[in-house]
Structure 1
Amino acid sequence: MTLSFIQNMGGGFIIIFLLFGILYAILWIYCLVDIIRSEFKDPNMKIIWIVILLFAQGIGPIVYLVLGKGTKTTYSS
């Protein structure tokens, strides 16, 4: 019954849509946890990145992964 419903709705499109949605949710959660656990050079950057992640839903995690790593403090042993 469910399989015929999926085939009538476009079949593979729904499955692909769900897979991309799940992958995006995992990426978003990863970025949020990374922001919360990290130390930044400027203490306000943590709040700024969380706001960017919340309000720029489509590109927020990608922007953080590209630009956010440079704003973190690095620890040298």
Structure 2
Amino acid sequence: MEYGIFGLLVLVADIYAIISIISSRASVGAKVIWTLLVLLLPILGFVIWFFVGPRGSAKIA
């Protein structure tokens, strides 16, 4: 049961990330790369996107 809840949370987080990526102002190439990263590595891809994604780079600058 715990794995099902964890899987659902990962799915929701990935869907949120993909929607945010698609609606961002990043270039099409960057959107494709970020989306593939989140799809191929669901947990790690989300964490990387969360900290250094298109929105994350704006916070640093």
TM-score (norm 1): 0.63
Aligned letter for 1:30? Y
Unaligned runs of 5+ residues in structure 1 are: 1-14, 72-77
Give matches, 1:1-20, under 5 Å.
Answer: 15-20=1-6
RMSD, matched Cα: 1.8
Unaligned runs of 5+ residues in structure 2 are: none
Q: Alpha-carbon deviations, 1:5-62, whole Å to 9, x = none?
A: xxxxxxxxxx21111111111001000100011112xx12111101211222331111
Structure with higher RCO (Cα < 8 A, 6+ apart) = 2
Large movers: runs of 4+ above 4 Å:
none
Deviates more, 1:55-64 or 1:19-28: 55-64
Structure (1 or 2) with the larger CA radius of gyration: 1
Give matches, 1:1-77, under 5 Å.
Answer: 15-40=1-26, 43=27, 44-68=29-53, 69-70=56-57
Greater percentage in helix: 2
* Identity between Structure 1 and Structure 2 (%): 25
TM-score (norm 2): 0.77
Count of matched residue positions in the alignment of Structure 1 and Structure 2: 56
Tell me, in whole angstroms, the C-alpha distance in 2 between the residues paired with 1:17 and 1:55: 19
